[in-house]
Amino acid sequence: MTDREVATDGGAVAESGEPASASGGSALSRLRERDDFVVVASAAALIVFPFLLVDVLGIVGDVIGLSIGGYTGLPSLVLIYGIIVIGFNLLLGYTGLLSFGHAAFFGSAAYSAALFSQVVPSPLLMVVVGTLVATLLAWPIGFVSIRRSGVYFAVLTLTFGQALYFYALGPGSWLTNGDNGFSNIEADGLFLGALPFDAPLTPLPFLDSYTVMYGFAAVSMLVAVWVGNRIINSPYGLIFEALGENEERVEFVGLNVFRYKLMAFVISAVFAGVGGALFVIHEQYIHPTTGLYWIQSGDFVIMTVLGGTGGLVGPVFGAFVFEYVANVVSGVSLPAIGSIGSLWRFVLGAVFVTIVWVFPRGIYGAGEDLVAMLTDRSGGEGGGDTAAADGGERE
């Protein structure tokens, strides 16, 4: 994953370290265009993430007497959803298409990966097969849905998603095991089970959240970030954003709007497919409600908007907050109120409203504003606002 590999994707284009026009962008945004920088920065974050979430928060929780630390499997789950919403944001944040049916791709990948594990119990191949199925499914669904825009597009995707849900629950039970859920997944480790997913990555007993599963999810996340970063710095990044801003004009500069929207749709489905396959590997179980129900589709939207649609990785923060509330806050027992339990959706709602109200550009946008403020104060010139508004992802 270095700059060198660039030559393989097109050949003719000469790569130079410096963008062709030196006039645009800050040093920071130019850094962000560099794949190696983005991947290394993400890797650093992924290395400390479980430690902060599970170990540090766990200790803080012990001190204050509330169980606010994450459990061992949570970091992986956050990354899995994170991968999905990175792709979802290419569709929602950049291209401006709101899909309410992405559970279709998540769930179909999860089920096909689960089924494939019966034949070959290889997690890597499960991801490949799951992603392939999701991608194949995305072409016809996208082809039909993208002919309509706005609410009609959203409802069409929702309809397709729900059709799959009811199929998995009823007529497709012979494949999916219907309402009982699908649990005999045959892959519980890498290298034919030689490296079990719950095996620790470090000999240190307290870092038990660093499992083989986490490593698998983290590497997948790095690949997702790398690919995502390449996409937003490619012609597609510019075109997707332009589509979100003024579709008619894109058509009138001579670009095939339909095909680019379809590509945005399919690319986002690829990410959802990777996530779906990883999900079933992680959970060792899939049910129509977690896999295909429209609420799952809605949750992708919530995570993305919560995290912020302005940049590539913003939605990952949304996935984190979402899963943290769903899995940790729900287990917190408050002195006066008692256990939060299934009230976690109210907590999430409150968090969502607060963040979207105070920081309309989500958690990531708030972070960007903060950085812009700090750099402005330390002698940097103005213009921080413009750079922040377009996500600063391109030069």
Partner 1 sequence: MTLLRTDGLTKQFGGLVAVDDVSFQVDRGETRAVIGPNGAGKSTLINCITGALEPTAGSVEFDENDITNLSPHETVQTGISKSFQTASIFPGMTVRENVEIAALAAEHGSFEFNFLKRLSGFSAVHETADQMMSAVGLLGDDDTEAGSLPYGDKRRLEIAIALASEPELLLMDEPTAGMSPDETADTVDLVERLQEELGLTILIVEHDMEIIFRIADRILVLNRGQVIADGTPEEVQESERVQEAYLGGVEL
By beta-carbon proximity to partner 1, the closer residue of 229 and 297 is: 229
Question: 334 - beta bridge partners?
Answer: 338
Q: Under the criterion CB under 8 A, does residue 180 sit at the interface with partner 1?
A: no
Site for partner 1 in 73-112 (CB under 8 A): none
CA distances from 43 to 36, 46, 85, 281, 385 (A): 10, 5, 18, 22, 28
Structure tokens at 306: 């919560």
Q: Under the criterion CB under 8 A, does residue 172 sit at the interface with partner 1?
A: no
Pick one of 42, 76, 220, 233: the residue that binds partner 1 (CB under 8 A): 233
Q: Under the criterion CB under 8 A, does residue 230 sit at the interface with partner 1?
A: yes
Site for partner 1 in 20-49 (CB under 8 A): 20-21, 23-25, 33
Structure tokens at 202: 């470090």
In the numeric block, the tokens 């008619």 are attached to 248
Q: At its nearest, how many Å lie between partner 1 and the CB of residue 246?
A: 5
Applying CB under 8 A, which part among 4-12, 64-72, 185-193, 340-348 lies near partner 1? Answer: 4-12
Q: Under the criterion CB under 8 A, does residue 227 sit at the interface with partner 1?
A: yes
- How long a stretch of residues is the chain? 395
Q: At its nearest, how many Å lie between partner 1 and the CB of residue 149?
A: 16
Residues 268 and 102 sit within 8 Å (Cβ to Cβ): yes
Applying CB under 8 A, which part among 11-19, 115-123, 166-174, 185-193 lies near partner 1? Answer: 11-19
By beta-carbon proximity to partner 1, the closer residue of 23 and 342 is: 23
By beta-carbon proximity to partner 1, the closer residue of 202 and 234 is: 234
Stretch 313-352: interaction string toward partner 1, x if CB under 8 A: ----------------------------------------
Q: At its nearest, how many Å lie between partner 1 and the CB of residue 198?
A: 35
By beta-carbon proximity to partner 1, the closer residue of 198 and 245 is: 245
Closest of 308, 238, 280, 292 to residue 92, by C-alpha: 308
By beta-carbon proximity to partner 1, the closer residue of 75 and 384 is: 384
Residues 349 and 89 sit within 8 Å (Cβ to Cβ): no
Q: Under the criterion CB under 8 A, does residue 246 sit at the interface with partner 1?
A: yes
By beta-carbon proximity to partner 1, the closer residue of 168 and 263 is: 263
Applying CB under 8 A, which part among 75-83, 195-203, 216-224, 232-240 lies near partner 1? Answer: 232-240
Stretch 263-302: interaction string toward partner 1, x if CB under 8 A: x---x-----------------------------------
Pick one of 251, 298, 356, 371: the residue that binds partner 1 (CB under 8 A): 251
> According to the 3-state scheme, what is the secondary structure of the chain?
CCHHHHHHHCCCCCCCCCCCCCCCCCHHHHHHHCHHHHHHHHHHHHHHHHHHHHHHHHHHHHHHCCCCCCCCCHHHHHHHHHHHHHHHHHHHHHCCCCCCCCHHHHHHHHHHHHHHHHHCCCHHHHHHHHHHHHHHHHHHHHHHHCCCCCHHHHHHHHHHHHHHHHHHHCCCHHHHCHHHCECCCCCCEECCCCEECCCECCCCCCCCCCEHHHHHHHHHHHHHHHHHHHHHCCHHHHHHHHHHHCHHHHHHCCCCHHHHHHHHHHHHHHHHHHHHHHHHHHHCCECHHHHCCHHHHHHHHHHHHHHCCCCCCHHHHHHHHHHHHHHCHHHCEECCCEECHHHHHHHHHHHHHHHHHHCCCHHHHHHHHHHHHHHHHCCCCCCHHHHHHCCCCCC
By beta-carbon proximity to partner 1, the closer residue of 75 and 392 is: 392
Applying CB under 8 A, which part among 169-177, 217-225, 257-265, 358-366 lies near partner 1? Answer: 257-265
Q: Under the criterion CB under 8 A, does residue 245 sit at the interface with partner 1?
A: yes
Site for partner 1 in 197-226 (CB under 8 A): none
Site for partner 1 in 120-139 (CB under 8 A): none
Pick one of 44, 47, 192, 389: the residue that binds partner 1 (CB under 8 A): 389
Q: Which residues are near partner 1 by CB under 8 A? A: 6, 9-10, 13-16, 19-21, 23-25, 33, 227, 230-231, 233-239, 241-242, 245-246, 248-257, 259-260, 263, 267, 383, 386, 389-390, 394-395
